[in-house]
Amino acid sequence: MTIIETPAGWPADEEEALAVQDALRARVVLDEPGPAPGTGLVTGVDVAYDDERDLVAAAAVVLDARTLDVVEEATAVGRVSFPYVPGLLAFRELPAVLAALDTLTAGPGLVVCDGYGLAHPRRFGLASHLGVLTGLPVVGVAKNPFTFTHEDPAPRRGSTAPLLAGAQEVGRALRTRDGVKPVFVSVGHRVTLDAACAHTLALTPRYRLPETTRLADALCRRALREATAGQGSAA
């Protein structure tokens, strides 16, 4: 496991963060199909917090996209560097995620993260931001709707309903299990929405959430526990 270093020039407040989103938004690539679902590597990333101790832990779990077997794992621990602000989640999560990704031996392949990409107030959510900073293909799979309205998808696995920003489809509510609440998929970088949904379905043979998300979630929580173990909160 590694220690997180906040990237140089990382925004210190909301105003700077908004300016960064404005500057980077144009670098998002939306016209590449991305890797074929079920092939190569897929990497899940997630972050857990201990606000009490001002600690954050990130995990990256690399899977064989065909078998969903774990190929490699990485974690990183450090200090929280930005508060949670809706629309600015990337500034809170990415330093930790980047640190974890940096320690991977193999290329991560396609990255799946919790949260949104294009389906964002300024069309530059966490998944897009991560894609632009790393150059990797990234998709966002969120557990809850953000600010976009949508119809309820049909009850069968695979059914979708568009997330609409006016007339633009910025993402999809995707049913990954029969009769279970959908997940919310959007494009991050270098992947199409169709492919992002196909990847999400390939990663959900059994549960509502992608295996990548489940494994990364479990791993970053464990990393946080281990970082906390034995450490009193003495000042």
Residue 64 annotated as part of some ligand binding site: no
Amino acid letter, residue 164: L
Site residues for DNA, 40-69, by CB under 7 A, read 46-49, 51
Nearest CA to 139 out of 183, 82, 86 is that of 183
The stretch near DNA (CB under 7 A) out of 6-14, 61-69, 138-146, 196-204 is 138-146
| Binding mask of the shown chain, residues 90 to 109, with x at each position contacting DNA by CB under 7 A | x--x----------------
The stretch near DNA (CB under 7 A) out of 5-13, 26-34, 142-150, 161-169 is 142-150
Query: CB count, 10 Å around CB of 61?
Result: 29
Q: Under a CB-based contact definition with an 8 Å cutoff, are residues 92 and 80 in contact?
A: yes
Residue 46 annotated as part of some ligand binding site: yes
Residue number, 28 or 90, with CB nearest to DNA: 90
Q: Under a CB-based contact definition with an 8 Å cutoff, are residues 155 and 175 in contact?
A: yes
Size of the site for DNA (CB under 7 A): 29
Residue number, 42 or 130, with CB nearest to DNA: 130
Q: How far is the CB of 60 from DNA (least distance, A)?
A: 14
Residue 41 tokens read as 């590597």
How far is 115 from 207, CA to CA, in rounded Å?
Answer: 18
38-59 burial, b at 16+ Cβ within 10 Å, e below that, comes to: beebbbbbbbbbbeeeebbbbb
Q: List interacting residues with DNA (CB under 7 A).
A: 46-49, 51, 84, 86-90, 93, 114-116, 120, 125-127, 140, 142-147, 217, 221, 224
